[in-house]
């Protein structure tokens, strides 16, 4: 115990600390709830699209992925080709953790008929930033228990931090303000965000021949994504859209993703080096994203391929 002669001093300390925590508790509660209210009443922006994906999607076709999903898979083209309502649940810069969390939340509510998962090169490479990106899911921790195991992958003490009501909205103040302004409401209602510019300058060279370490957690999440779709009897298609780069060797993540898909008997359409696209820079916005023109061709190609695969017909086009 603390020494006797300092007892008074220690009591003072404890009582003052207690008062501090009481003040802090109430301020945290008040501000946290205010932020929660404004966060979930957003009508536009990326956070709104995530909330929509988690809580409101009801479409038969759902597309998952990073910006190479949101910018490349045109939902309207999918709807016309497949004759099914389609939603693009992708989000810029997000890795497999995000996609799996959204899938878990969706499967908790209903079962889509077709799921498209867009894969990127280096998706399985070890990168601590990818774990930090899980932070976009923090506002859903309390209301969506099904995604908690994914959120806790972020950092060792995440559960402890989430005792605060403010922490889930860390660094979100500006986007909450933006999302509560209705100036861009319904702009990207189906989640598809087209890129309307064309790549310029020389092509970059990427050396994939170097040995890189793959992240087993990411690979396991990818496997769980596939397994959950199989368990729910959903037709899953995994797609790697084109890149316009000079490459040495092939990306290890894509090689691994194709092998796993094969293991589970899932179709993996690899367009990453498809010469139809790689010879046409005018179809690209940048080296990893097709532009609106490229998207039209690509989305039609993929949607048609899925249509014939789903209906069990022979492939008639590219």
Partner 1 sequence: MLFNSFYFLFFFIVVTVLYYTISYTKRWLLLLLSSCYFYMAFVPLYIFILGFTIVVDYVAGIYIEKAQGKRRKYFLVVSLIANIGILCIFKYYNFINDNFSFLLHGFGLSNPIPYLQILLPIGLSFHTFQAMSYTIEVYRGNQKAERHFGIYSLYVMFYPQLVAGPIERPQNLLKQFRQEHKFDSERVFEGLKIMVWGFFKKLVIADRLGIYVNGAYNNVEQQNGMTLLLATIFFSFQIYCDFSGYSDIAIGTARVMGFDLMTNFKRPIFAKSTGNFWKRWHISLSTWFKDYLYFPMGGSKVSVPRWYFNLMVVFLISGLWHGANWTYIIWGGINGFYLVFAIVTQKYRDKFNAFIHIDKFPRFFLFPQVLITFLLISFSRIFFRARTVEDALKIIKKILTFKGSVFNDGTGIILYSCFGIAFLVAVEFKREYYKGSFTLSNHPNFWVRNSYYSFLVILILLFGVFDGGQFIYFQF
Q: Which is nearer to partner 1, 2 or 259 (CB)?
A: 2
Shortest Cβ 107–partner 1 spacing (Å): 28
248: CB partners within 8 A, 6+ apart: 205, 206, 207, 208, 209
Q: What is the DSSP secondary structure assignment for residue 245, as one 8-state letter? A: S
The burial of 195, by beta-carbon neighbours within 10 Å (0-12 exposed, 13-18 middle, 19 or more buried), is given as buried
Which has the closest alpha carbon to 16: 6, 8, 27?
8
Shortest Cβ 252–partner 1 spacing (Å): 23
User: Number of helices and strands (H, E) in the chain?
Assistant: 13, 9
Shortest Cβ 208–partner 1 spacing (Å): 20
- Beta-carbon count within 10 A of 186 CB: 9
Q: Which is nearer to partner 1, 161 or 309 (CB)?
A: 161
Residue 45's region, left for phi above 0, alpha for psi from -120 to 50, else beta, is left
Show the site string, 103-142: x = touches partner 1 by CB under 8 A, - = not. -------------------------x--xx--x-------
Q: Rule CB under 8 A: is residue 170 a binding residue for partner 1?
A: yes
Q: Rule CB under 8 A: is residue 155 a binding residue for partner 1?
A: yes
Shortest Cβ 157–partner 1 spacing (Å): 4
Q: Rule CB under 8 A: is residue 182 a binding residue for partner 1?
A: no
Which has the closest alpha carbon to 45: 187, 169, 168?
187
Q: Rule CB under 8 A: is residue 167 a binding residue for partner 1?
A: yes
CA atoms within 13 A on the CB side of 196: 1
**In whole angstroms, what is the distance from residue 237 CA to residue 239 CA?**
6
List the one residue from 87, 140, 169, 237 that touches partner 1 (CB under 8 A). 169
Show the site string, 14-53: x = touches partner 1 by CB under 8 A, - = not. --x--xx--xx--xx--x----------------------
Q: Rule CB under 8 A: is residue 166 a binding residue for partner 1?
A: yes
Determine the straight-line distance between the first and last CA of the chain, rounded to whole angstroms.
77
Q: Rule CB under 8 A: is residue 2 a binding residue for partner 1?
A: yes
List the one residue from 173, 189, 212, 259 that touches partner 1 (CB under 8 A). 173
Which has the closest alpha carbon to 269: 234, 228, 298?
298
Q: Write out the residues near partner 1 by the rule CB under 8 A.
A: 1-3, 5-6, 9-10, 12-13, 16, 19-20, 23-24, 27-28, 31, 128, 131-132, 135, 155-157, 160-161, 164, 166-167, 169-171, 173-175
């Amino acid at each position: 115990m603390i020494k006797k002669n300092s007892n008074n001093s220690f009591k003072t300390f404890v009582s003052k600390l207690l008062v501090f925590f009481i003040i802090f508790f109430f301020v945290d509660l008040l501000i946290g709830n205010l932020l929660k209210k404004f966060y979930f009443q957003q009508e536009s922006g990326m956070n709104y699209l995530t909330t929509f994906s988690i809580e409101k999607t009801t479409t038969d076709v759902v597309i998952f992925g990073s910006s190479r999903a949101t910018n490349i898979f045109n939902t309207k083209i999918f709807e016309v080709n497949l004759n099914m309502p389609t939603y693009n649940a992708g989000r810029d810069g997000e890795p497999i953790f995000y996609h799996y969390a959204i899938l878990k939340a969706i499967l908790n509510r209903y079962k889509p008929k077709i799921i498209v998962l867009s894969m990127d090169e280096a998706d399985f490479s070890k990168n601590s930033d990818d774990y930090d990106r899980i932070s976009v899911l923090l506002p859903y921790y309390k209301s969506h228990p099904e995604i908690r195991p994914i959120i806790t992958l972020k950092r060792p003490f995440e559960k402890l931090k989430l005792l605060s009501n403010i922490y889930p909205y860390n660094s979100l103040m500006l986007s909450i303000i933006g999302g509560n302004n209705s100036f861009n409401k319904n702009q990207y209602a189906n989640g598809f965000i087209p890129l309307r510019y064309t790549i310029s300058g020389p092509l970059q060279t990427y050396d994939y021949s170097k040995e890189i370490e793959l992240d087993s957690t990411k690979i396991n999440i990818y496997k769980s994504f596939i397994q959950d779709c199989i368990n729910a009897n959903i037709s899953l298609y995994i797609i790697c859209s084109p890149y316009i780069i000079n490459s040495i060797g092939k990306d290890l993540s894509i090689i691994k993703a194709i092998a796993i898909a094969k293991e589970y008997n899932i179709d993996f359409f690899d367009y990453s080096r498809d010469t139809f696209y790689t010879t046409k820079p005018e179809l690209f916005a940048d080296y990893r994203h097709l532009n609106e023109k490229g998207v039209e061709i690509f989305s039609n190609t993929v949607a048609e391929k899925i249509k014939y695969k789903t209906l069990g017909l022979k492939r008639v086009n590219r």
